[in-house]
A and B are shown apart, each in its own frame.
Chain A
Amino acid sequence: MEGRWTRLALRAWAALILLFLFTPIVLIFVYAFNTSNIQSWPIPGFTLKWFTSTWDDPDIRRALSLSLQVGLGATVLALVLGSCAAFAIHRMTWFGREFVSLMFVLPLALPGIVTGIALNAAFSFGGISLSTLTIVVGHTTFCIVVVYNNVLARLRRTQGSLVEAAMDLGANGFQVFRDITLPLISTAVVAGAMLAFALSFDEVIVTTFTAGAQNTLPLWIFGAIRLGQRLPEVNVVVSFVILVTIVPVILAARLTGGGGAARVPAAR
C-alpha cells in the first residue's frame, strides 16, 4: 500500500537508524588501536601496544578473573533453577503459571537499582559481608529468566507424542529424559546459558551494590571512565567486553533460530 516515495523515505530512515545504532560501536573498536593516549578524532595512527599493556595489567586481570568466576557461577545456578522452573511450568495447567512467569521477569522489569539496593539492604540486615558469593547471588536472580524463557519456549514447541512413543516402546523416565527430551531441548539450554553469561559478564548496576571492595570488569571500566584514567586500556577492555557480549547472542540466535536472544528484550 506504500507509495514509491514513502518506501524511499522509510528506507532512508532505516539506514539512518542503523547508522545511529552502529557508529558508536564501530568507533570503540577503532579507538582501541589509537596510537595516541589522547582520545581525539581522527586518531593519528594504528597500534597494538595497548593490547599488551592491558593484558599485563594486574588490576584488569584480577577483574577479568572475577567476572569469569561470577559469570560461570551465576550461569550454572541459573541453568539449574531456570530449567527446573521451565519443566515444572510446562507440565502445569494451574492458574499460578502466569504469576510464576511474571515473578521471574520482575528483577529485569523493575529498575536494576531496586534489585541492587534491595539485595544490599538484605545482606546488611542479615550481617552477610559482600563477597564473590553475594555477586553470584545477585546475578543468578536476574539470569534465571533468560534460561527459563528459552527452555520453556522450546518445550512448548516440542511434540509430546515423541515422549509418549518412547514410553510406549518401554523407555523409563530417565531414558526418556536422556534420549528424547534432552536432545530436543539441548540447544535451547545452551542458548539460555550463553545469554545468561553475557548478561552477567556486562552487568554493572546490581554488581555495584553486591560487590563490596572487589572489582568485576564492568566495575573496573566504570571506575576508570569516571576518573578519566587509563583510557587507552579502557578502549581495549571495552572492545573485548562488546565481543564477549555479542558472540553468545549470535551463537544463541543460530541455535534457537533467531528467537532466543529476542525473547528477553528486558535483558538489561
Chain B
Amino acid sequence: MTSGSPRGPRSRDDASIAIQAAGRPRSKKGGAAGLQAFFWRLPWLRPLLLLTPPLAWFVVVYFASLVVLLITAFWTTNPFTTQVVQYWNTDNFLRIVNEPTYHTIVGRTVFMAAAVTVTDAVLAFPFAYFMARVASRRVQTLLFAAVLLPLWASYLARVYAWILIFNHSGVLNWSLQLIGLPPANIGYTNIAMWIVFSYIWLPFMIIPTYAALERVPESLIEAAADLGARRWRTVRDVVLPLALPGVAAGSIFTFSLTLGDYITPILVGGAGSSLIGNVVYDNVGIANNIPFAAAMAMIPVGIMAIYLLVAQRLGAFEAL
C-alpha cells in the first residue's frame, strides 16, 4: 500500500495512529483528549452510554409496571382487608366473562370509540381537504395553528366548557330558544358524551389526514383528469385511497383515547354511561380491588393490539 492513497484500506489505522500520536503528549496534561481518542476507537460506546439511562428508565419504570399489571390481573384481594393476595387464579377474568354488566360496558365502550372515530373522520376530511388543497399558503399555516391550539389547550377545560354549554340554562338552550326551537336537555347522556369525545379528539384526526392529503401528488390528480375522470371520481378513486393511511393514523388516537377515558363519562355522562375506564377507576379508588382493575385494563390493551394490527395493514404507521 502506497502512502499516496489517502482512502486506502489502511487509512483508518493511519488516522488512528496519528490521533494516538497527537493525543499522547496532551493526555499527560488532561484526560479530555485521551477520553476523546478512547471514544473514537470504540464508536459504539458513546451511543450506548447515551441510550442506557432512557432505556433503563423505560425498562425499570414502564415495562416492569406493565408486567406487574399483567401479573396482578391474575391475583386476588382479601375481601375483608382489601389487601392484595398473591394467589394465582383467573377469577378476575371469569368475572368479566360471566357478568353481563361488563359485556354491556365493553360493548358500549367499543361502540362509543367507533362512533367517535367515524364522526371525527367525517368532520375532519373536508376540513383537511380544504387546508391541503384549496387554502392559500398563509391560510394553511393559520388553520394549522388553529387546530393545534385546541389540541394542546387543557383537556379538562374543554370538557368543562361543554358542561356549561349543555347546562339547562346554557348556551345550547339559549341558542335554540333564539331560533324558536324547544330546549334540548342532552346534558348527562350518552349523546353528550359522544359530542364531547368527538370535540376533544377532532384535532387528532385533522392533523394526520391533512398531512396525508398534502402529500397527494398534483400530477396524479392531473393524470386522472387527463384520463377523463370527473371531479368526484378523482376524489373517490385517487385522493381518498391515498388519504386513507392518514385517516387510519388519526383513528388510532380517536379510538385509543376514547377507549381509555373515564373523565368525560364521569363529567358529562349519565347513569348509563360507564366505560371500561370507569370500571378501572372505581376499582382502584372506591373498591380498592387493584387485581380486578388490572384485569379490566387488559381489555383496552387487547383491543388496541388488534386495532393497531389492522391500522398497520392500512399503512397508518407510515402516516404517523
Give residues in A with beta carbon < 8 Å to B: 1-3, 6-7, 9-11, 13-14, 17-18, 20-25, 27-28, 31, 39-42, 80-82, 84-85, 87-89, 91-92, 100, 103-104, 106-107, 109-115, 117-122, 124-125, 137, 140-141, 144, 148, 172-174, 195, 198, 202, 204-205, 208-209, 218, 221-222, 225-226, 234, 238-239, 241-242, 244-246, 248-250, 253, 258, 261-262, 265-268
Contact = CB atoms under 8 A, between A and B. Distances in A.
A119 B65 contact: yes
Nearest to A140: B57
Contacts of A3: 231
Interface string B47-89: 1101101110110011011101100100000000000100000
21 contacts: A17-B127, A18-B146, A28-B161, A41-B169, A81-B57, A84-B54, A100-B51, A103-B58, A118-B69, A125-B72, A144-B57, A204-B155, A204-B156, A218-B154, A221-B156, A225-B160, A225-B267, A244-B154, A248-B152, A266-B204, A268-B155
Contacts of A81: 53-54, 57
B249 to A, nearest CB: 8
Nearest to B58: A103
Given A113-B277, A117-B69, A202 B284 contact: no
Interface in B164-189: 164-165, 167, 169-171, 174
A238 B133 contact: no
A158 B61 CA distance: 32
Contact of A104 (B58, B148, B234): B58
Nearest to B221: A1
B290 interface: yes
Contacts of B250: 265
Interface of B: 32-33, 35-36, 39, 46-48, 50-51, 53-55, 57-58, 61-62, 64-66, 68-69, 72, 84, 123, 126-127, 129-131, 133-135, 141, 143-158, 160-165, 167, 169-171, 174, 199, 202-204, 207-208, 221, 225, 231, 234, 250, 252-253, 256-257, 259-263, 266-267, 277, 280-281, 284, 290, 293-294, 297, 300-301, 304, 308, 320
A92 B39 CA distance: 15
B304 A265 contact: no
Contact of B294 (A121, A225, A266): A121
B27 to A, nearest CB: 12
A121 B35 CA distance: 43
B155 A7 contact: no
A9 B263 CA distance: 36
Given A21-B199, A104-B54, 7 more contacts: A27-B164, A88-B54, A113-B260, A117-B284, A121-B68, A198-B152, A265-B320
